[in-house]
Chains A and B, each alone.
Chain A
Amino acid sequence: MDKRKDHELLREAGKMVDRCDRCGTCLPVCPLFGVKGVEATSARGKNTIARALAGGGIEPTREVLDVVNFCLLCRACVDTCPAKVPTDEAMVDVRQHLTDLAGGADVKYRLIGGVLKRPGVVKAAAAALSILRRSGLNGLFPYGMAPEEYTRAHFLTAFAGPAALGQKAPPSAVTVTGRTKVAYFRGCGMEMMFPEAAAQTRDILKTTTSLLVKQNVCCGLPHLAHGLREEFLSLARQNIRLFEEAEVVVSDCASCGATLKHLSSFFADDPAWRDRAAAFSGKVMDLTEYLEKVGYLPRQKADVVFTYHDPCHLVRGQGITRPPRELLKAAGSFVEMKEADVCCGGAGSFHVDYPDAAAQILEKKRRNIEKTGAAVVVTGCPGCLIQLAKAAKASDGKFKAMHISQVI
């Protein structure tokens, strides 16, 4: 059990942000400060508020919760910080602390958390969505089951039809030993919003291994991010148990992957789970990371120009930038966009909670995508894909947004 008390969380967050020198290095890279310009919206501002909260100089009010909620958890600040202050972790801890003080998470987050927590719910995606709709929460998933989803079939028709057949990629050189037990982690976002892409992921994985598909539960990130820490830990334990027989756990969702890879740190002081969690985290791989390891080659080379958006939880969460780009180069031609690793503004439910700020951030992203002239922007995160699908719509057909599984 997680025995940490509320004030311990605040103290821990306080220790993290204590290292902040208030130098301002994070100001130009914080996407929210970029659109709002007010100190409290920046990483430095939020860290300093957290520090004052821990030091007793600021009262724990609803206003403070609003400030710490207004964070994409994108880690752009952490990446650039000379003292490596983990702003995202501190914000999550302060959210939890304030939520506990207020007597539990906001009803909205509790509902979403409840939906995502139920075992088997990812299988019953439609049912889950109907619950969401009934609860008036469908705004979280703005375009229903497949928000502006562009399927692999669409992709092949448009870009890899007969004219492109001559450029078929060489046969895949993958050799998988029968001993490697590879499992697929079904992410809620992928299953509920991009089932076609998730199916593609499984198809790709099956060309490399005899795939284990488990009825896993949510990775717990939405719970952790919004003050439902106990639920997060309980989900984590279920998943750890479930995947004990697997040697590799592949995720096609950047956020699930990053969360699962970091699980071990949440159990570091729990003797019963420490080793199991560390073993589990050690075998999680992003889809592209796995495909690179097994030498996967795309199923076709299409006459299409791709650009790539780095999900925060892949680039900063897992340090993965090269494998997806290499796969795209093998599947078509590739052009890099400006600020590819800047957050798209999606950030879980951030885009629903703060639609204006999210839209302003996305607008910059759309312009950067359009400047590349690419026909398809590819990414590896359903959260980003929702945002990018909106950008694609706003671009008036200049580009499509797709998950990497759909194009390789």
Chain B
Amino acid sequence: MITEEIKQKIRDIVGTDHVLDSELNRFGYSYDSSFIPLLPANKPDLVVRPLTTEEVSRVMVVACEHEISVTPRGAASGRTGGSIPLKGGISLCLDRMTRIVELDERNMMVTAESGLRTIDLYNHCAASGLFYPPDPASWKFSTIGGNVAENAGGMRAVKYGVTKNYVMGLEVVLADGAVLRTGGKAIKNVTGYDLTSLFTGSEGTLGVVTQALFRLIPMPKRRGTLEVMFRTLDDGCRTIHTMLQSGVVPAAAEIMDRTCLEVVARHRKTDLDPEVGACTIIEIDGDDDAALETQAGRIEEAAKTCGAVAFRTARSQQEADDIWAVRRGISSAVAALAPNRIGEDISVPRDAFPEVVRRIREISEKQGLPIAVYGHAGDGNIHPSILCDLGKPGEEERVHHAVDDIFAAALSVGGTLSGEHGIGITKRPYIVNALGDVGVRTLKAVKAALDPKGILNPGKIW
């Protein structure tokens, strides 16, 4: 419980309009995009929407003094429960902090506040010919602070890496309200521990990221999108491997299985060729059209030798956007197929992708549960979606077995639990399998050092 006196203190800091405590408003901040059940609701006692780092800091001072839990939140588009206020307390919603503080074109770096949407950061930089590559599927609505806190990946990871590869420095409000600044614009920087990396992907458990400094790269001058259909997922994976080994590194290489394609066909009211069992969507980029043509030619060649049944090049930006819209919407479209969808985010060495998909098929048959598979074939990050109805007797147990088996399959080929969604609440029971006792003990030691009262995003990761 947060007393009226404390609420008033917080209202005085951020303004009355930005502190919400009605039943429905608290409910609005009780969920994210994970499969954590909506009810019973994990409502915060108070929703606080600060505008500045100073306000965040002063709120943290109050929270620390009264040992109130604080769960940072951006757009609540996360998939593992990271922004769910599991222990009540304050939902610290950073979505009003949307300033682009500085675009430093000479150093090719940009500083932005946490609540800025990823796409707005991208567009702002793109207008100056600069490229911020990380593009989680949620980039149109996710916030950059959430991307940093979860170390979000995206489609372009195969060529350009993930969020952490672009974070140069952070402004972080610590549990006691102190403001920490890490890193900086110097490209080489080995002064002290690499705190920037520590906070990136810390899921709001170590501090509240209020600003981030990102490096940028020159915007590729030309982009192309290819869509290739295969009989099997294996053929699609082989194409991507053949292509990578031949030296063609696409900006993105996505794959989806028949179940996913059926959803797309249904939404678009089109018929799906019965021969097609998988689809890959590939983005290529380069300096000029000739460079794109060369790459497209080599990809087509690889696809043909691997048994492609259809090959399409987007002829306009609109067509390319349409193809990518399909891929970006897949997750939510698949989710609508069944009363419940348990979406996972395993990541394996690239060459183990077909093997793990085969094992997922076996798990699906063994448990009698449909599992849709799509993912980033270019970097080995797979999103198996278990389609189920948790209301059916015995279903929940089968789902648990399926999830256990999927994680076991990932770990057995040298992979890991999460490629880009984080651990949050949903993967917590499995973390010791992935990191071992020493690994988890080390995480806890870091947590205890930075947040001794355990007020920041409690109940997450382990």
Give the shortest distance, in Å, between A359 (CB) and chain B (any CB): 17
Say yes or no: B75 contacts A27, CB within 8 Å. yes
Say yes or no: A21 contacts B28, CB within 8 Å. no
In-complex Cβ contact of A28 among B22, B41, B117 (8 A)? B117
Task: Write out the residue numbers on chain B whose beta carbons fall within 8 Å of the beta carbon of A58.
Answer: 23-24, 27
Task: Write out the residue numbers on chain A whose beta carbons fall within 8 Å of the beta carbon of B22.
Answer: 63
Say yes or no: A21 contacts B141, CB within 8 Å. no
Say yes or no: B329 contacts A25, CB within 8 Å. yes
Q: In the complex, A58 Cα to B41 Cα: how many Å?
A: 10
Considering only CB atoms and an 8 Å cut-off, how many residues of chain A contact the other chain?
Answer: 30
Task: Write out the residue numbers on chain A whose beta carbons fall within 8 Å of the beta carbon of B332.
Answer: 21, 23, 25, 81-83
Cβ of A245 < 8 Å from any Cβ of B?
Answer: no
Say yes or no: B117 contacts A52, CB within 8 Å. no
Cβ of A18 < 8 Å from any Cβ of B?
Answer: yes
Give the shortest distance, in Å, between B120 (CB) and chain A (any CB): 9
Residue of A nearest to B39 (CB): A57
16 contacts between A and B (CB under 8 A): A19-B335, A22-B33, A23-B138, A23-B331, A24-B33, A24-B138, A37-B96, A38-B20, A40-B28, A48-B31, A49-B24, A51-B38, A56-B39, A58-B24, A82-B328, A82-B329
Task: Write out the residue numbers on chain A whose beta carbons fall within 8 Å of the beta carbon of B25.
Answer: 38-40
Q: Is the interface of A mostly helix, strand, loop or mixed?
A: loop
Q: A58-B24, A83-B336 are in contact. Are A25 and B39 (CB under 8 A)?
A: no
In-complex Cβ contact of B41 among A25, A52, A82 (8 A)? A52
Q: Which residues of B contact A (CB under 8 A)?
A: 20, 22-25, 27-29, 31-33, 38-41, 49, 75-77, 95-96, 117, 138, 140-142, 267, 328-333, 335-336, 339, 341
Q: A24-B142, A27-B141, A48-B38 are in contact. Are A82 and B333 (CB under 8 A)?
A: yes
Q: In the complex, A82 Cα to B329 Cα: how many Å?
A: 5
Say yes or no: B339 contacts A49, CB within 8 Å. no
Say yes or no: B140 contacts A25, CB within 8 Å. yes
Say yes or no: B27 contacts A83, CB within 8 Å. no
Task: Write out the residue numbers on chain B whose beta carbons fall within 8 Å of the beta carbon of A81.
Answer: 332
Q: In the complex, A83 Cα to B385 Cα: how many Å?
A: 15
Say yes or no: B32 contacts A21, CB within 8 Å. no
Told that A23-B33, A37-B95, A51-B38 touch, could you supply 5 new A-B pairs with CB distance under 8 A?
A: A23-B77, A28-B140, A40-B24, A57-B39, A84-B336
Say yes or no: B39 contacts A63, CB within 8 Å. no
Task: Write out the residue numbers on chain B whose beta carbons fall within 8 Å of the beta carbon of A51.
Answer: 38
Q: In the complex, A207 Cα to B27 Cα: how many Å?
A: 57
Q: Is the interface of B mostly helix, strand, loop or mixed?
A: loop
Say yes or no: A82 contacts B331, CB within 8 Å. yes
Give the shortest distance, in Å, between A98 (CB) and chain B (any CB): 13
Q: A37-B96, A57-B39 are in contact. Are A18 and B339 (CB under 8 A)?
A: yes
Task: Write out the residue numbers on chain B whose beta carbons fall within 8 Å of the beta carbon of A52.
Answer: 27, 38-39, 41
Q: A28-B117, A58-B27, A63-B22 are in contact. Are A21 and B38 (CB under 8 A)?
A: no
Task: Write out the residue numbers on chain A whose beta carbons fall within 8 Å of the beta carbon of B24.
Answer: 40, 49, 58, 63-64, 67
Give the shortest distance, in Å, between A60 (CB) and chain B (any CB): 12
Give the shortest distance, in Å, between B124 (CB) and chain A (any CB): 15
Contact with B along A164-182 (1 / 0, CB 8 A): 0000000000000000000
Cβ of A114 < 8 Å from any Cβ of B?
Answer: no
Q: A82-B330, A82-B333 are in contact. Are A39 and B28 (CB under 8 A)?
A: yes
Cβ of A355 < 8 Å from any Cβ of B?
Answer: no
Contact with B along A240-256 (1 / 0, CB 8 A): 00000000000000000
Task: Write out the residue numbers on chain A whose beta carbons fall within 8 Å of the beta carbon of B77.
Answer: 23-24
In-complex Cβ contact of B28 among A38, A84, A85 (8 A)? A38
Say yes or no: A57 contacts B38, CB within 8 Å. yes
Give the shortest distance, in Å, between B338 (CB) and chain A (any CB): 10
List which A24-74 residues lie within 8 A (CB) of chain B: 24-25, 27-28, 37-40, 45, 48-49, 51-52, 55-58, 63-64, 67
Q: In the complex, A293 Cα to B31 Cα: how many Å?
A: 48
Give the shortest distance, in Å, between A222 (CB) and chain B (any CB): 26
List which A267-287 residues lie within 8 A (CB) of chain B: none
Task: Write out the residue numbers on chain A whose beta carbons fall within 8 Å of the beta carbon of B329.
Answer: 25, 82
In-complex Cβ contact of B29 among A22, A39, A84 (8 A)? A39
Task: Write out the residue numbers on chain B whose beta carbons fall within 8 Å of the beta carbon of A18.
Answer: 339
Q: In the complex, A56 Cα to B39 Cα: how many Å?
A: 9
Q: In the complex, A63 Cα to B31 Cα: how many Å?
A: 20
For the complex of A and B, the 6 pairs showing the least CB-CB separation, nearest first, are A82-B329, A39-B28, A83-B336, A82-B332, A57-B39, A24-B77
Task: Write out the residue numbers on chain B whose beta carbons fall within 8 Å of the beta carbon of A22.
Answer: 31-33, 76
Task: Write out the residue numbers on chain A whose beta carbons fall within 8 Å of the beta carbon of B339.
Answer: 18
Say yes or no: A21 contacts B40, CB within 8 Å. no
Give the shortest distance, in Å, between B421 (CB) and chain A (any CB): 12
Give the shortest distance, in Å, between A23 (CB) and chain B (any CB): 5
Give the shortest distance, in Å, between B274 (CB) and chain A (any CB): 24
Give the shortest distance, in Å, between B37 (CB) and chain A (any CB): 9
Task: Write out the residue numbers on chain A whose beta carbons fall within 8 Å of the beta carbon of B335.
Answer: 19, 21, 23, 83
In-complex Cβ contact of A21 among B49, B140, B331 (8 A)? B331
Residue of B nearest to A84 (CB): B267
Q: In the complex, A52 Cα to B26 Cα: how many Å?
A: 13
